[in-house]
Amino acid sequence: MKKITVIGAGNVGATCANVMAQKELASEIVILDIKEGVSEGKALDMMQTSALLGFDSRVIGVTSDYSKTANSDVVVITSGIPRKPGMTREDLIGINAGIVKDVAQNILKYSPNAILVIISNPMDTMTYLALKSTGLPKNRVIGMGGILDSSRFKCYLSQALNVPASDVQGVVIGGHGDTTMIPLARFATYNGIPVSSLLDGETVNKVVADTMVGGATLTKFLGTSAWYAPGAAGAALVEAIIRDEKKVFPCCVALDGEYGQSDICMGVPVVIGENGWEKIVDYKLNAEEQAAFNKSADAVRSMNGVLKEMNVL
Ligand code: APR
């Protein structure tokens, strides 16, 4: 009898809830938004697909009523504003920081044992904020970005190789920003065969570059940021927690010396299970990769500094 809450009934939150309902990840999925009626409407719409699609999860929508979220096992935070064309994820910090801090505190009043999944951007800084402002054990605060970036990496690799994306392995670590993420081309494989032996260097570089601006490309097309892959990536993370899968996903977590960094939340491969993130997997970066990771950390750290300037932390 699991319960999941999604905060934010916008594009990403609603998509995530919809995927989770179809996968029957919980007996009850609550969607909460501050916009009157939006959660209720979207939840009811989803419930009206249950007979067609054959799922038994109950989806409930509420407007700002946190009591209905009580005793959630996992809470996914998508509330905030998305980026518009020309904006970076970092441009969102001013508005989203206040929202994420407030939401995290409200959630814990009713679900003190919940694991928090952070999707709101700038995701690395929002994860750091959620961790620091709540004082939760570090394993219970997880940022989703790396799963999405890795899925985009695998998608572009599969197109370059002309093979199914599910036959491709690829990991993106570092920050979840256009210039801070690090697609680890050296570890990318097609069923164990290094992609560097299947694609020329120029093609691999293009795949890496396309991955890094994967979100911005969609924002240009859509006029707002994407939702199908972000929603599905959030659901994949929740699934690994709810089903105690012990799967390895690149997620944004608190580093305490791992990958050479401390007092920061950044994307690294972690084992995900019922306790949240359980272990960091060491990919043993080479000097070039570690230098890129350190540079990414500098950018994330300076963004985290804005939280102090804004007095939210
Ligand atoms: N509490 C609950 N919901 C809120 C709050 C709040 N304090 N503030 C805003 N919201 C809701 C909005 O009412 C809206 O319905 O969050 C929802 C956000 O939905 P969209 O505007 O559609 O944004 P979306 O595309 O879903 O992106 C949400 O995820 O990927 C990131 O960068 C993206 O930060 C953005 C977030």
Residue 120 has pLDDT above 90, yes or no: yes
Element (H, E) at 205: helix 201-212
- Residue 248, Ramachandran bin (φ over 0: left; ψ between -120 and 50: alpha; else beta): beta
Which whole-number Å values give the CA distances from 150 to 138, 176, 181, in the listed order?
A: 23, 11, 10
- One domain for residues 90 and 176: no
- Residue 50, Ramachandran bin (φ over 0: left; ψ between -120 and 50: alpha; else beta): alpha
Q: For residue 155, what is the domain's CATH number?
A: 3.90.110.10
Last residue of a domain, one of 113, 145, 177: 145
Query: Which residue range(s) make up the domain with 137?
Result: 3-145
- One domain for residues 57 and 118: yes
126 within 8 A of 96, measured Cβ to Cβ = yes
Collapsing DSSP states into helix, strand and coil, what is residue 312? coil
Q: Does 119 sit in the ligand 1 pocket, CB within 6 Å?
A: yes
145 — pLDDT class (breaks 50, 70, 90): very high
Please state the rounded mean pLDDT for residues 234-263.
98
Give catalytic residues, as residue numbers.
176
pLDDT, residue 68, reads 98
Please state the rounded mean pLDDT for residues 53-80.
98
Residue 232 has pLDDT above 90, yes or no: yes
- One domain for residues 151 and 141: no
Please state the rounded mean pLDDT for residues 22-32.
98
- One domain for residues 91 and 107: yes
Please tell me the total number of residues recorded for the chain in this structure. Answer: 313
Residue 178 has pLDDT above 90, yes or no: yes
Q: What is the pTM of this model?
A: 0.98
Last residue of a domain, one of 90, 110, 145: 145
Last residue of a domain, one of 145, 166, 181: 145
- One domain for residues 172 and 241: yes
- One domain for residues 218 and 206: yes
Mutate to test the pocket of ligand 1, among 15, 75, 225 (most ligand atoms within 8 A of CB): 225
pLDDT, residue 1, reads 86
User: Which atom, in ligand 1's list, is nearest to the CA of 79?
Assistant: 16
- DSSP output for 239-260: HHHHTT--EEEEEEEEEESGGG
- One domain for residues 84 and 94: yes
Residue 90 has pLDDT above 90, yes or no: no
- One domain for residues 173 and 259: yes
> Helices 145-161 & 228-242, crossing angle to 10 degrees?
120
Ligand 1, atom 7: closest residue by C-alpha: 99
Structure confidence by residue, pLDDT tens digits, 1-20: 899 999 999 999 999 999 99
- One domain for residues 17 and 116: yes
104 within 8 A of 132, measured Cβ to Cβ = no
Return mean pLDDT, the chain.
97
- One domain for residues 132 and 274: no
Distance 310 CA to ligand 1 centre (A): 20
Domain count, the chain: 2
Degrees to nearest 5, angle at CA 47 with 45 and 49: 80
Please state the rounded mean pLDDT for residues 79-107.
93
Q: For residue 113, what is the domain's CATH number?
A: 3.40.50.720
- One domain for residues 74 and 7: yes
- One domain for residues 136 and 253: no
Can you tell me which residue has the tokens 């020329």?
A: 200
